[in-house]
Structure 1
Amino acid sequence: MRKLLSLAVVLLPWPLKRWLLRRVWGYRIADDARIGLSYIFPGQLEMGSGARIGHFNVAIHLGRLECGEHSIIERGNWITGHAPDGAHFTHRTARDPALLLGAHAAITKSHIIDCTDRVEIGAFSTVAGYHSQIITHGIDIVAGRQDCKPISIGAYCLVGTRVTVLGGAVLPDRCVLGAGAVLNKPYLEEHALYAGQPAVRVKALPADAAYFHRAEGFVD
């Protein structure tokens, strides 16, 4: 019954949809936030002022989805995970199946984001282009079981098109991940370009670059 109601809610006008999402699901949605024609049903949802989720997105099997103020999830993104009470990954007792999107952060179009464990995208960061994969889980061939690790993308980062980011990876604040890169480990150095397969630090970036000091997320 709940799934049928969910499908019906997707098609409703936004004011009525928002009322039901607040009343029935208990979601915390700012008055000026908005969800388009998308199937967005995590365990918990919080959308700050001005946050927006566009059309044709799916977000399911998440413990929580947090969209900071003026953050954007554009269209055609598949965001999923493995529910907190799922049958797998029980050895990961601190697992947090969540997507946390900072203020003014953006996920553009047609990306796949696996939140079996936590994915954090910092304030003013952009997952740009198309067809990137952010994947927190995989197979541990030594233990012979599924495993997962969180992923962190820092603040004021720019993630290029068609990248792959794997569990345990960290992109530090104010960095660029080049198009087509595979980020598979944590890095610490800020103001840097990381690129390649696997990604490595390629060069330093100027600390005074305008992108790193924006007051609004949208780039003209």
Structure 2
Amino acid sequence: MRLAWAALMVVVPASLRRLIATRILGWDVHPSAYIGRSLIVVRHVTMGPDSGIGPFNVIRHLDELILERGASIATRNRIEAHPLAAVVFAHMKNRRATLALGPFAKITDAHEIDCSDAVTLGKHATIAGFRTQVLTHSLDLVRDRQTTGPVELGDRCAVMSGCILLSGTRVPARSIVSAGSVVTTKLTKELTFYRGNPAVEIRTLPETLKYFHREDLSDTERYYRAVEAAEARRDG
């Protein structure tokens, strides 16, 4: 039944999507949040003020999706947990199939994010560009069984296009991972530029970079208000 309501939300106007989300599915969606024409099959969704989920995303099999104030998921992203997670990962007692975006965090376009375990983005953290892969489950070749590990992005960090973040990894606050890099461990140094396969420290970054000082102003609010207005005009 949840899948049927999720499919219906793809085709109805924005005002009805919010109504289905709050009244029928029991999600916590702030009146200023925007839900685009995306397939969202998630047990529970929390969307704070001015947060937004754009069109053409597929978000499935998660226990929880959280977008705090001003956080956004743009378009054409595939965000899923393992569909048989309860069986495959029964031995992983602390696993959480969750995606949590802190205030003003952003996931841009056409990324693939595995949420078989928790993926967390801190305040103003960004998965930028296109086609980054975040993997929270992997095959333990020694024990010949699937395992999981959470992936964490610290406050105000940026992961650029075409990166791969493996299970159990971390990108520290106020750091940048160069396009095409592979993060295989918990990176530790803030104010650092990382690059390569595996990603290693390249140089220190200046604390004065404007990206590290973004203000708590929501471009998301203005953008999704415009999207919602355009959609309303199309729907007649």
Question: Given residue 164 of structure 1, which amino acid in structure 2 is its aligned partner?
Answer: I
Question: Given residue 172 of structure 1, which amino acid in structure 2 is its aligned partner?
Answer: P
Question: Given residue 124 of structure 2, which amino acid in structure 1 is its aligned partner?
Answer: F
1:41 CA drift (Å): 2.2
Match of 2:8 in 1: 8
Q: Is 1:189–2:189 an aligned residue pair?
A: yes
In structure 1, distance between residues paired with 2:93 and 2:100: 19
Paired residue secondary structure (1:40): strand
Query: C-alpha offsets along residues 100-146 of structure 1, whole Å, 9 cap, x if unaligned?
Result: 11111111100000000000011111111111100101100011011
Match of 2:213 in 1: 213
Any unmatched runs of 5+ in structure 1? Answer: none
Match of 1:141 in 2: 141
Match of 2:223 in 1: none
Match of 1:34 in 2: 34
- Could you tell me whether the CA contact under 8 Å between 1:163 and 1:182 is conserved in 2? yes
Q: Count the aligned residue pairs.
A: 219
In structure 1, distance between residues paired with 2:164 and 2:184: 8
Instruction: Give matches, 1:39-78, under 5 Å.
Output: 39-78=39-78
In structure 2, distance between residues paired with 1:10 and 1:74: 15
In structure 2, distance between residues paired with 1:203 and 1:194: 8
Using the size of structure 2 for normalisation, the TM-score is 0.89
In structure 2, distance between residues paired with 1:35 and 1:145: 37
Q: Is 1:106–2:106 an aligned residue pair?
A: yes
Name whichever of 9-18 and 158-167 sits farther off.
9-18
Match of 1:87 in 2: 87
Paired residue secondary structure (1:129): strand
Any unmatched runs of 5+ in structure 2? Answer: 221-236
1:85 CA drift (Å): 6.6
1:206 CA drift (Å): 0.7
Question: Given residue 25 of structure 1, which amino acid in structure 2 is its aligned partner?
Answer: L
- Could you tell me whether the CA contact under 8 Å between 2:85 and 2:116 is conserved in 1? no
- Could you tell me whether the CA contact under 8 Å between 1:120 and 1:152 is conserved in 2? yes
Paired residue secondary structure (1:60): strand
Using the size of structure 1 for normalisation, the TM-score is 0.95
**Highest relative contact order (Cα 8 Å, sep 6+), 1 or 2?**
2
What is the CA RMSD across the aligned residues, in angstroms?
A: 1.6
- Could you tell me whether the CA contact under 8 Å between 2:191 and 2:206 is conserved in 1? yes
Question: 4+ residue stretches of structure 1 with deviation over 6 A?
Answer: none
